[in-house]
C-alpha cells in the first residue's frame, strides 16, 4: 500500500505515507510521529531529498532506534550502541536543518540532583560522539531527566539496565 | 528491633496512647504525626483541652499544640483523661494529681468570645515548683486559632529548651498524585497543605527564599529541566535559568539576591551563581567532573557542593567568590545532598553505605559523623530554622514519608503520608503570619 502511494508522487501523500509506515513499528519510541499524522508535522518529518522518504521515518533504518543503553556506573557509549549513535550523527550531518535532544536517564536510587548530573553526563557522551561523527553542536541539546522518568519501575537488574539510557528525540517529532 | 526497644523502655505505653489519641485529634489533612523514636530527656507534659476550644474558633488548639510538641522530640504527652482535675487556668491546677499522673508540666487555657473575636489565654505550669513558666493572651479572629496554637507551642518549647520554636515554620515537598506532580507547601506539622504548582512533568529540588516568600524549583514542563522562581502570595513565576542543556539544583544566597544553580553550558554539570531575578550566570566551579547540589553557608561566605572529581560523589566547600575547593567528606564512597546548619557549625547530608542511604550529620573541622536516620532509603535532609531538627524523606515499602529527627540523634518523628508519595522536602524559614 505504501509503495502504491509512493508511486503517486505527491508530496503530501508521501508525508502521510511516511507517517503511517512508522505507526506499527514501535509505538513508544515514535509516538510523536503517530500523533502528528496531520499534514503539518508529517510534512516536516517526511518528504525530503527530492522525493525520497526521509530515512528518519523508515522503520527498517538504524535511525528507528532512539535509545542508547549504558553499563552500570558508566557513561561510555558501548560498542553495541555505536551503530545507533553513528546513524543519527550521519543523519544530522546530512540534514543540517534537523535538531534533536539527547535525554539522559539513570536508575532510581540516590540523590535526584546527582542522578540528574549522571544522566547529563550520559547525554553529553552521546552528543560528543555525534559531534565527532560530523553533527554540529547547534543541532544537539544534551539534557537529563535523571531518575525522574524511569522506563521500568522495578528494582531488578534488568529494570535498572532499562533505565540506564539516553533517549534521542528529534525536534518536531 | 524497634518494638523490642520500646518494650524494654516501656515507651510503648505512650506510643499506644498516641496511636489512640492522634487519629481523634487529626484534622482532615493528609499527614499526621507519629513518634517512632524517643529521646531519654523528654519533658512530660499534660496539655489539657482548652475551655470552649471546640466552639467558636474554627479548630481546637490543643491537638495542634500536642502535635507540635511531639514533633519537637523533646516532649512526651501525659494523658489527661482519668486525672480528676480539668483545669482551664493556672489557679485551677491541682498539682499533686498531676504529679501522680507523671506530669512535670501542665498546659491550660481557654477560648472566650469577645466582640466578634476570641480571646485565647494559656499558661504553662511547672508541677514541682507550682508556678507559671510562661503564659499569654491572644485576641484573634476565629480563623487564626491554628496560628495561635503554633505560637503557644513555640512559647512552651522556648520556655523549656531555651531554643527558638519552629512551629510557625512551613515545609515544601513534592507529592506524586497518580501521573501528576504537586508542589506542596504546608505547616511544619503537615497541616494547611496547599498545592502551589501542578504539573504532568516532574518537579524537583524546591528551595525556600530566605524570607519565605518565594520558592525556586526545577520544573520539566518545557521538556527539559529549567529553574523557576515563584512568588507564593501572587503565584507569579518566571524562569531564572533556562540555558542550553540542563538547569537545576537552585539554592538561595542568605541575602536572597542570588541563586546558586547547576548549569551544563560547558558540557558538564558545573555550579554557577545567577541573580535571583534572572540574568547572566557567573561560573563558580571549574572541573571536568560533575559539580552540583550547591548550598550556601548561613553567612553567605561559602558554598558546599557535591563533586565526583575524585571518583565517587563527595562534598566540597568553596568560597562564594571562587577559589580552590576543599573536600569535607572522606568516609564512604557516596556522599551527597549537603545542607549547612543555621549556626554554620555542622552540615547534614546523605551517605550511601552498604546499600543504605543514610542521613548523616558532621561537624566542620573534623571528620566525625553520625547517623540520624533509620530505614534503608532516605533523601534530601534540611535543617529546621532553629537547627534542632532535620527533615528528610524516607522510602518505606515503595512510599516516601517525611521524618524530622533531632540533631542529637535522640528522637525521630514521622509525618505519615496517607495519599501519594512525598519527595524532595525542604524546611522553610520562620514566619509569624
Q: Which of A110, A124, A143 sits opposite B225 (nearest CB)?
A: A143
Specify the long-range contacts of residues A132-138, CB closer than 8 Å, at least 24 apart. A132/A89, A133/A85, A133/A86, A133/A89, A133/A90, A133/A93, A134/A89, A134/A90, A134/A92, A134/A93, A135/A88, A135/A89, A135/A92, A135/A93, A136/A92, A136/A96, A138/A99
pLDDT above 90 coverage of chain B, percent: 72
Model confidence pLDDT, tens digit, residues B24-61:
223 333 444 555 555 557 899 999 999 999 988 999 99
Asked whether residue B175 falls in the same domain as residue B136, the answer is: no
Scored b (16 or more CB within 10 A) or e, A159-172 reads ebebbbbbbbbbee
Q: Does B1 have pLDDT greater than 60?
A: no
Domain span at residue A33 reads 1-57
Asked whether residue B136 falls in the same domain as residue B202, the answer is: no
Asked whether residue B72 falls in the same domain as residue B219, the answer is: no
Asked whether residue A70 falls in the same domain as residue A50, the answer is: no
Selected for mutation to probe chain A from B181, B217, B242, B246 (highest A CB count within 10 Å) is B246
Asked whether residue A50 falls in the same domain as residue A125, the answer is: no
* Mean pLDDT for the stretch of residues B74-95: 96
Residues of A in contact with B380 (CB under 8 A): 111-112
Domain holding B105: CATH number? 3.40.50.10070
Domain holding A84: CATH number? 3.30.1330.60
B51: in domain: yes
Asked whether residue A107 falls in the same domain as residue A150, the answer is: yes
Scored b (16 or more CB within 10 A) or e, B83-106 reads bebebbebebbebebbeebebbbb
What's the complex ipTM?
Answer: 0.85
Asked whether residue B328 falls in the same domain as residue B181, the answer is: yes
Q: Which of B205, B246, B377 sits opposite A144 (nearest CB)?
A: B246
Model confidence pLDDT, tens digit, residues B342-369:
999 999 999 999 889 999 999 999 878 9
Residues of B in contact with A120 (CB under 8 A): 245-246, 264, 268-269, 290
B389: in domain: yes
Asked whether residue B274 falls in the same domain as residue B390, the answer is: yes
Model confidence pLDDT, tens digit, residues A71-103:
988 899 999 999 999 999 999 999 999 999 999
Residues of B in contact with A114 (CB under 8 A): 290, 292-293, 306, 313, 336-337
Model confidence pLDDT, tens digit, residues B234-285:
999 999 999 999 999 999 999 999 999 999 999 999 999 999 998 999 999 9
Asked whether residue B273 falls in the same domain as residue B157, the answer is: no
B2: in domain: no
B267 with A110: Cβ contact below 8 A: no
In chain B, the number of structural domains is 2
- Quote the pLDDT of residue A113: 98
Asked whether residue B54 falls in the same domain as residue B183, the answer is: no
Q: Which of B249, B264, B377 sits opposite A113 (nearest CB)?
A: B249
* Mean pLDDT for the stretch of residues B314-338: 97
With beta carbons less than 8 A apart as the criterion, state whether B416 and B33 touch: yes
- Quote the pLDDT of residue B56: 86
Question: DSSP character for B165?
Answer: P
Inter-CA distances, A134 with A79, A142, A167, B206, Å: 19, 16, 20, 39
Model confidence pLDDT, tens digit, residues A36-60:
233 333 333 443 444 567 889 899 9
Q: Which of B248, B268, B357 sits opposite A113 (nearest CB)?
A: B248
Question: Which of B161, B179, B207 lies at the terminal end of a domain, its last residue?
Answer: B161
B16: in domain: no
B101: in domain: yes
Asked whether residue A109 falls in the same domain as residue A164, the answer is: yes
Asked whether residue A153 falls in the same domain as residue A136, the answer is: yes
Asked whether residue B315 falls in the same domain as residue B340, the answer is: yes
What one-character-per-residue DSSP string does B198-267 give? EESS-EEEEEE-TTSSEEEEEE-TTSS-EEEEEETTT--EEEEE--SS-EEEEEE-TTSSEEEEEE-TTS
How many CA atoms are closer than 13 Å to the CA of B60, on its beta-carbon side? 17
B350 with A111: Cβ contact below 8 A: yes
In chain A, the number of structural domains is 2
Distance between CA atoms of B42 and B40, rounded to whole angstroms?
6
Model confidence pLDDT, tens digit, residues B234-245:
999 999 999 999
Asked whether residue B191 falls in the same domain as residue B250, the answer is: yes
- Mean pLDDT value across chain B: 88
A111 with B246: Cβ contact below 8 A: no
Model confidence pLDDT, tens digit, residues A107-140:
888 899 999 999 999 999 999 999 999 999 999 9
Asked whether residue B157 falls in the same domain as residue B219, the answer is: no
Domain holding B293: CATH number? 2.120.10.30
3-state helix, strand, coil in chain B (%, to 5): 15, 45, 40
Domain span at residue B305 reads 171-427
Asked whether residue A146 falls in the same domain as residue A163, the answer is: yes
CB contact, 8 Å: A32 with chain B?
no
B105: in domain: yes
Asked whether residue A50 falls in the same domain as residue A89, the answer is: no
B282: in domain: yes
Asked whether residue B79 falls in the same domain as residue B228, the answer is: no
Which of the four pLDDT bands, split at 50, 70 and 90, describes residue B415?
low
Q: Does A29 have pLDDT greater than 60?
A: no
Three-state DSSP state, B156: helix
B337: in domain: yes
CA distance B169 to chain A (A): 25
* Mean pLDDT for the stretch of residues B149-178: 92
Asked whether residue B260 falls in the same domain as residue B350, the answer is: yes
Amino acid at each position: 500500500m505504501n509503495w502504491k502511494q509512493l508511486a503517486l508522487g505527491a508530496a503530501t501523500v508521501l508525508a502521510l505515507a511516511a507517517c503511517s509506515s512508522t505507526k506499527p513499528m514501535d509505538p513508544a519510541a515514535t509516538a510523536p510521529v503517530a500523533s502528528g499524522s496531520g499534514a503539518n508535522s508529517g510534512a516536516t518529518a517526511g518528504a525530503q531529498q527530492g522525493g525520497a522518504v526521509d530515512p528518519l521515518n523508515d522503520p527498517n533504518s538504524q535511525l528507528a532506534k532512539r535509545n542508547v543503553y549504558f553499563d552500570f556506573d558508566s557513561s561510555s557509549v558501548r560498542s553495541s550502541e555505536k551503530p545507533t549513535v553513528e546513524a543519527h550523527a550521519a543523519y544530522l550531518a546530512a540534514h543540517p536543518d534537523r535538531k534533536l535532544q539527547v535525554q539522559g536517564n539513570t536508575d532510581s536510587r540516590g540523590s535526584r540532583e546527582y542522578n540528574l548530573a549522571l544522566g547529563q553526563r550520559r547525554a553529553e557522551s552521546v552528543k560528543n560522539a555525534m559531534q565527532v561523527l560530523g553533527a554540529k553542536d547547534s543541532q544537539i541539546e544534551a539534557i537529563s531527566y535523571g531518575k525522574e522518568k524511569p522506563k521500568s519501575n522495578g528494582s531488578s537488574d534488568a529494570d535498572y539496565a532499562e533505565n540506564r539510557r539516553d533517549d534521542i528525540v528529534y525536534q518536531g517529532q | 528491633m524497634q518494638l523490642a526497644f520500646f518494650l524494654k523502655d516501656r515507651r510503648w505505653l505512650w506510643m499506644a496512647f498516641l496511636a489512640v489519641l492522634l487519629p481523634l485529634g487529626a484534622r482532615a489533612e493528609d499527614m499526621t504525626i507519629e513518634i517512632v523514636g524517643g529521646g531519654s530527656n523528654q519533658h512530660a507534659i499534660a496539655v489539657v483541652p482548652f475551655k470552649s476550644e471546640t466552639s467558636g474558633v474554627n479548630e481546637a488548639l490543643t491537638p495542634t499544640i500536642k502535635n507540635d510538641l511531639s514533633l519537637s522530640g523533646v516532649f512526651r504527652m501525659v494523658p489527661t483523661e482519668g486525672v480528676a482535675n480539668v483545669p482551664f487556668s493556672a489557679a485551677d491546677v491541682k498539682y499533686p494529681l498531676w504529679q501522680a499522673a507523671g506530669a512535670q508540666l501542665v498546659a491550660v487555657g481557654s477560648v472566650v468570645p469577645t466582640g466578634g473575636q476570641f480571646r485565647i489565654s494559656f499558661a504553662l505550669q511547672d508541677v514541682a515548683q507550682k508556678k507559671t513558666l510562661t503564659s499569654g493572651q491572644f485576641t484573634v479572629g476565629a480563623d487564626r486559632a491554628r496560628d495561635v496554637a503554633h505560637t503557644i507551642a513555640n512559647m512552651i518549647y522556648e520556655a523549656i529548651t531555651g531554643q527558638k520554636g519552629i512551629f510557625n515554620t512551613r515545609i515544601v515537598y513534592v507529592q506524586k498524585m497518580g501521573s501528576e506532580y504537586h508542589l506542596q507547601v504546608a505547616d511544619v506539622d503537615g497541616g494547611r497543605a496547599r498545592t502551589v504548582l501542578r504539573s504532568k512533568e516532574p518537579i524537583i529540588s524546591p528551595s525556600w527564599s530566605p524570607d519565605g516568600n518565594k520558592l525556586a524549583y526545577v520544573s520539566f514542563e518545557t521538556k527539559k529541566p529549567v529553574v523557576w522562581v515563584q512568588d507564593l502570595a501572587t503565584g507569579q513565576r518566571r524562569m531564572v535559568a533556562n540555558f542550553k542543556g540542563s538547569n537545576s539544583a537552585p539554592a538561595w544566597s542568605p541575602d536572597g539576591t542570588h541563586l546558586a544553580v547547576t548549569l551544563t553550558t560547558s558540557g558538564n554539570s558545573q555550579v554557577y551563581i545567577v541573580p535571583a531575578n534572572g540574568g547572566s550566570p557567573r561560573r563558580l566551579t571549574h572541573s571536568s567532573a560533575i559539580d552540583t547540589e550547591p548550598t550556601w553557608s548561613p553567612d553567605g561566605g561559602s558554598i558546599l557542593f557535591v563533586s565526583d572529581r575524585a571518583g565517587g560523589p563527595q562534598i566540597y566547600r568553596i568560597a562564594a567568590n571562587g577559589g580552590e575547593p576543599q573536600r569535607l567528606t572522606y568516609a564512604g564512597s557516596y556522599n551527597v545532598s549537603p545542607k549547612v546548619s543555621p549556626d554554620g557549625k555542622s552540615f547534614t547530608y546523605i551517605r550511601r553505605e552498604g546499600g543504605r542511604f543514610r542521613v548523616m550529620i558532621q561537624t566542620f573541622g573534623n571528620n566525625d559523623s553520625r547517623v540520624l536516620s533509620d530505614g534503608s532509603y532516605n533523601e534530601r535532609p534540611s535543617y529546621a530554622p532553629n537547627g534542632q531538627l532535620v527533615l528528610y524523606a524516607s522510602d518505606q515499602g515503595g512510599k516516601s514519608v517525611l521524618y524530622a529527627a533531632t540533631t542529637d540523634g535522640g528522637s525521630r518523628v514521622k509525618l505519615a503520608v496517607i495519599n501519594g508519595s512525598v519527595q524532595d522536602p525542604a524546611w522553610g524559614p520562620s514566619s509569624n503570619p
